[in-house]
Amino acid sequence: MSLSAADAAQQIREGTLSSEDLVKACLERIRELEPKVEAWTFLDEEHALGQARAADELRRSGQAVGPLCGVPVGLKDIIDTADMPTENGTVLHAGRTPRNDAAVVARLRAAGAVILGKTVTTECAYFTPGKTRNPHNPDHTPGGSSSGSAAAVAAGMVPLALGSQTNGSVIRPAAFCGAYGFKPTHGLIPRTGILKLSHTLDHVGVFARTLEDIALAAEELAGYDEGDPDTRPRARVPFRAVAAEEPPIPPVIAFVKTPMWEHAEPETREAFAELVEALGDRVEEVELFPSATEAWDWHKTVMEAEMAANLEREWLSGREKLSEKLRALIERGREVRAVDYQRALARIAPVQESFEELFTQRYDAILTPAAPGTAPKGLDSTGDPSFCTLWTLVGLPAVSMPLLQGANGLPLGVQLVGRRHFDARLLRTARWLAQQVAAA
Amino acid sequence: MSLSAADAAQQIREGTLSSEDLVKACLERIRELEPKVEAWTFLDEEHALGQARAADELRRSGQAVGPLCGVPVGLKDIIDTADMPTENGTVLHAGRTPRNDAAVVARLRAAGAVILGKTVTTECAYFTPGKTRNPHNPDHTPGGSSSGSAAAVAAGMVPLALGSQTNGSVIRPAAFCGAYGFKPTHGLIPRTGILKLSHTLDHVGVFARTLEDIALAAEELAGYDEGDPDTRPRARVPFRAVAAEEPPIPPVIAFVKTPMWEHAEPETREAFAELVEALGDRVEEVELFPSATEAWDWHKTVMEAEMAANLEREWLSGREKLSEKLRALIERGREVRAVDYQRALARIAPVQESFEELFTQRYDAILTPAAPGTAPKGLDSTGDPSFCTLWTLVGLPAVSMPLLQGANGLPLGVQLVGRRHFDARLLRTARWLAQQVAAA
C-alpha cells in the first residue's frame, strides 16, 4: 500500500478507487506486517470498513466530499476518539473511552477521513517505550513517543498518521522510521482533546510518506479552536498551494550544529558535511546566539513543572503503576519552584525574537540533524530527542525528511526548521531541498 | 477645580476654556491642598503648562483634536513616562527615568491629554504606604496602592488619574477617598510599560469624579497592544455612548456578600441592607458557588509566585532596602512550587465560566461592598483589599461608586461588578444605580 494520501483522495474523488478497497489494502498490509512492527493498539476492521463504505456512499451520492474523503488515518493513542478507546499508553487509563473526539479528529472526519485506528504511544507520551519496533529492523527502536504512528506510515500500513511532540516525539520517530514528520508552529494545530503534558511545549504533528501529504493534512488541521488557548484566529493557510510552488528565488539555508553536535554520531557528521557541500552556496553554517544554548535547561524546567502538574492525578492515585522514569520525572517536577518555572517561560520570547531576526535578515530555513544518528539498537529506549528540544521550546515549525541513510541501512533524518507561522513556506523549502538532494 | 474631564474637554474644544487656564487651576488647587494630602511624587509645573499651551495651540490651528485635548491626567508612579521619572515607590528605583512612555501614556497623549505629573504609589504597588493622606481626613489612609491617584482626583486636583490593581488597589482607594474607580476586564487596557507584578492579576484602572469621565478615559485606553500578551485585537468599544444610554429594561442586580462579609463593619452591613431594600425587586441576594470561595487562596498563590518572579532582581540586588512586608511576600513567593502555582492558575477559568452563567442567565451586575468599611484611621496600613480579590483573580470589570457615607463622614464605597468584556454595559448599569440611589 504505497499510494499517497493525495493520490488516494484524488482517485476516490474521481471514482477510480473506492475507500473500501483502499482501507482493505491497508488492513491487509497491517495483517502482514503488524506481527513484526506492532504499531497499533486499537484496530476494529469492521468499524474502519464501515467508515470507508460511508465515504464511498457519500461520494456516489454526488454531494461535496472533503479533501481527505475516504483516506485512512492513524491516530496516536493520546488523541481522544469518541468511537474508540484512548488509553494514553498507561494501564492507569486502560479501557478509557472519551465522550468526545479531539478537535483534530473532528477536523479529519469533517474532511472525510476514515479513522483507521489508534497507534502505539510510549507511556503518557514520555520515554518508556511501547511494543512498537522499527519497520526497517525490528531489533531497533522506532523512536518515540509517537512510535506507532511513525512506524505505521513508514511501513505502508496507512498513508497518514497523527502524533504529538513535547520534546522530540514527532521529528525523532519520523527520522528513525524513514517517514516525513511535521511539527507545526506552536499553536497552529489545536490540542483540545489530547493528553495534556505541557501546554507550552505540546504540539500535534503529522506523519506521511510525501511532503504533499503533510501539506494536505496540515491544511485541514490548522486553525483556531476555542478549547486551545494557544491557538489564534488566523486566515486559512493554503498549505497545499504554497508547498507545491517553486521558491521564487533559491532558498538560503542556515546549517546549525547546535550545542548537541558533540552527541551526533560520526556518520551523521559526515553525512551532513557532504549534504552541506552538495548544496554549495545555498547553505551557510551559522552559530547559535548564546542565549539559545541555555534552551535545553529551560525546556527541562518547563517540561518537568508542567508535566508534574498535568499528571498529578495519575501520580496521586496510581504512582506505583507508572514507570520509574515517569514517576521520577513527576517527582522532579513537583519540586520545581514557581519562580524558576516562570523564569524559564520568560526566556522563550527573547529567543523567538532572535530567530525572527535570523529568518527575516537572511535565511529561509535552518538545516540540522533530526537525531544524533539512525535508530539505536534495542527496544528499551526510544533514543535521544536533543536535536529537537530547542525548536520545540520556541515553537518553530520543523520537518523531518528521510533523505539520508546510515551504514546499517537505516534512515538518517534531516531536519529543516522554519520561521514561526511560516509553516507552508517551510514545506515549500523542504520540497526544494528534497529535489536538490535527489538531483545531487 | 470641580470641572469634569468631559466638560473640560468640551469647553476646550469649543474655545470657551483654555487648557492653560485649566491646568493653572489644577496647579493652584494642588498648591492649596498638597501639604495636607501629599498625592504627588513628581510635578513640574512648567512642563505641565507647556503641554497645555501646546494643546491650546493645536486647537487654535484648526487641526483635529483628540477627545482629551488639553485635559490634565495624573499617573500612578509605576506607569512609565519618557519625560518624567518613574520610581515605582521604592528607593531602589530612585531617579529611574524610562526611555519610553507606557502604552496607556502614549494613548493619553494621542488623545490630547496633558500629563500633569506622577502620583504616589505604595512601595512597588504592594502594601507599604507612601506619604499620601485621605483628603477627607488626613488622619485616615487614602487606601492603596494607587493612593495618590485616588486622593488627587477626590481632592479636585485633577479630573482624571490612572492607577493599577493586582488585588484591590483601584477599587479600595477610590472607595476610601470618595472617587469613582474603574478596574476593567483583565486584558482590556494594556499594561506595557507599567511595573509588572503579576501578569495574571495586574490591571490598569481609572479614577474620576463622574462615570462619564470613566467612560471617556476607558474608550481611549482600551485596546490591543502587542507588548501585552493578555490583550486581544477587538472592535473598539463605544464606551461613552453605551455608558450614556438608559438600560432598555431595568437591570437585575445580584447582591453578593462573599465569604468576606464577616469582615464587613456593622455600619457597612446596615448601609447595604438599606441600599438593597431601597432597590426593591431590582436586587436579589445570591450565594457564591462553592468553587469561588477558594479564590482568595488561589489569588494569594498566584500573586506571591508571580511577584516573587517579577521582583527577583530587586530582591537579589537590594532586599535590605525593601520593606519587611514586601521582602516577606517575595520570600513566600520564592517557596511556592510550580505545581501549586499552575493548579491555582487552572482554577481561574472554571470560576470565570460560572460567573458567565450567572450573568447570562439573569443578572446585569453584582453588588458588593468595595471595602469592609470607610477608610481606617492611621497611615500605617492601606486597609483591607479582600472585597476586591475575587473579581481581580477572575478578571471581571468592577467599578467603585461613592454613593454611601459612614458615620464618621468618610465615603463608603459601593462596588458593582460586571460580566467579562461587558465593561461599557457595567458603566451603564452603574449610572442607573447612581440614579436610583439619588432618587431614593
Peptide bond into A198 cis (omega under 30): no
Average pLDDT over residues B351-373: 97
Task: Judge: B333–A338 Cβ closer than 8 Å, yes or no.
Answer: yes
Measured in angstroms, the CA of A78 and the nearest CA of chain B are apart by 21
* Helices first, then strands: H and E counts in chain A: 15, 11
Check pLDDT > 90 for residue A290.
Answer: no
What is the predicted ipTM? 0.91
What beta strand segments (E) does B71-141 contain? 72-76, 114-119
Angle of CA points B410, B415, B421, to nearest 5°: 150
pLDDT digit string (tens) for A232-261?
A: 988 899 999 999 999 999 999 999 999 999
* Active-site residue flag, B76: yes
Closest residue to B312, CB basis, from A309, A336, A339? A339
Measured in angstroms, the CA of A5 and the nearest CA of chain B are apart by 37
Catalytic residues of A: 76, 145, 169
**B contacts of A339 (beta carbons < 8 Å):** 305, 308-309, 312, 333-334, 336
**A contacts of B336 (beta carbons < 8 Å):** 337-339
Residue of chain A nearest B344, judged by CA positions: A309
Catalytic residue among B4, B19, B149, B169: B169
Start-to-end CA distance of chain B, whole Å, equals 28
pLDDT digit string (tens) for B379-415?
A: 999 999 999 999 999 999 999 999 999 999 999 999 9
Preferred mutation among B226, B314, B342, B356 to probe A, highest tally of A CBs within 10 A = B342
pLDDT digit string (tens) for B114-159?
A: 999 999 999 999 999 999 999 999 999 999 999 999 999 999 999 9
Residue A90: name the closest of A361, A323, A403 by CA.
A323
Task: Judge: B346–A309 Cβ closer than 8 Å, yes or no.
Answer: yes
pLDDT for the residue B1: 63
> Are A431 and A243 within 8 A, CB to CB?
yes
Q: Where are the domains of chain A?
A: 5-241, 253-439
- A218 or A234, higher pLDDT: A218
pLDDT for the residue B2: 85
Check pLDDT > 90 for residue B224.
Answer: yes
Start-to-end CA distance of chain A, whole Å, equals 28
Closest residue to B333, CB basis, from A306, A339, A346? A339
Asked if B5-242 and B244-294+341-439 have one fold, the answer is no
Average pLDDT over residues A182-196: 98
Check pLDDT > 70 for residue A1.
Answer: no
Please name the amino acid found at residue B147.
S
Q: Is residue A82 exposed (0-12), middle (13-18) or buried (19+ Cβ within 10 Å)?
A: middle
* Helices first, then strands: H and E counts in chain B: 15, 11
Q: How far apart are CA B116 and CA B149, in angstroms?
A: 11
Average pLDDT over residues B168-178: 98
Check pLDDT > 90 for residue A114.
Answer: yes
Task: Judge: A309–B333 Cβ closer than 8 Å, yes or no.
Answer: no
**A contacts of B312 (beta carbons < 8 Å):** 339, 343
**A contacts of B316 (beta carbons < 8 Å):** none
Q: Is residue A60 exposed (0-12), middle (13-18) or buried (19+ Cβ within 10 Å)?
A: exposed
Catalytic residue among B145, B146, B149, B198: B145
* Active-site residue flag, B169: yes
Check pLDDT > 80 for residue A344.
Answer: yes
Check pLDDT > 90 for residue A426.
Answer: yes
Q: Which residues of B touch A (CB under 8 A)?
A: 305-306, 308-309, 312, 333-343, 346
Predicted confidence band at B440 (pLDDT cuts at 50, 70, 90)?
Answer: confident
pLDDT digit string (tens) for B262-275?
A: 999 999 999 999 99
Measured in angstroms, the CA of B134 and the nearest CA of chain A are apart by 36
Task: Judge: A334–B335 Cβ closer than 8 Å, yes or no.
Answer: no
Residue of chain A nearest B306, judged by CA positions: A339
Task: Judge: A337–B337 Cβ closer than 8 Å, yes or no.
Answer: yes
Check pLDDT > 90 for residue A440.
Answer: no
Q: How far apart are CA A66 and CA A217, in angstroms?
A: 12
Residue of chain B nearest A227, judged by CA positions: B349
Closest residue to B339, CB basis, from A305, A339, A340? A305
Measured in angstroms, the CA of A291 and the nearest CA of chain B are apart by 19
**A contacts of B192 (beta carbons < 8 Å):** none
Q: In whole numbers, what is the pLDDT of chain A averaged over residues?
A: 97
Q: What are phi and psi of A84, to 5 degrees?
A: -145, 155
| Overall fold of domain B5-242 | Amidase signature (AS) enzymes (3.90.1300)
Q: How far apart are CA B38 and CA A33, in angstroms?
A: 82
Q: In whole numbers, what is the pLDDT of chain B averaged over residues?
A: 97
Rg (CA), chain A: 20
Task: Judge: A312–B336 Cβ closer than 8 Å, yes or no.
Answer: no
| Overall fold of domain B244-294+341-439 | D-Maltodextrin-Binding Protein; domain 2 (3.40.190)
| Overall fold of domain A5-241 | Amidase signature (AS) enzymes (3.90.1300)
Q: Give the number of A-B residue pairs with CB atoms closer than 8 Å.
A: 55
- CATH superfamily placement of domain A253-439: Amidase signature (AS) domain (3.90.1300.10)
**A contacts of B334 (beta carbons < 8 Å):** 337, 339
Q: Is residue B20 exposed (0-12), middle (13-18) or buried (19+ Cβ within 10 Å)?
A: buried
pLDDT for the residue B290: 87
> Are B268 and B373 within 8 A, CB to CB?
yes
pLDDT digit string (tens) for A2-60?
A: 899 999 999 999 999 999 999 999 999 999 999 999 999 999 999 999 999 999 999 99
Residue of chain A nearest B312, judged by CA positions: A339
Measured in angstroms, the CA of B430 and the nearest CA of chain A are apart by 31
Measured in angstroms, the CA of B121 and the nearest CA of chain A are apart by 25
pLDDT for the residue B293: 87
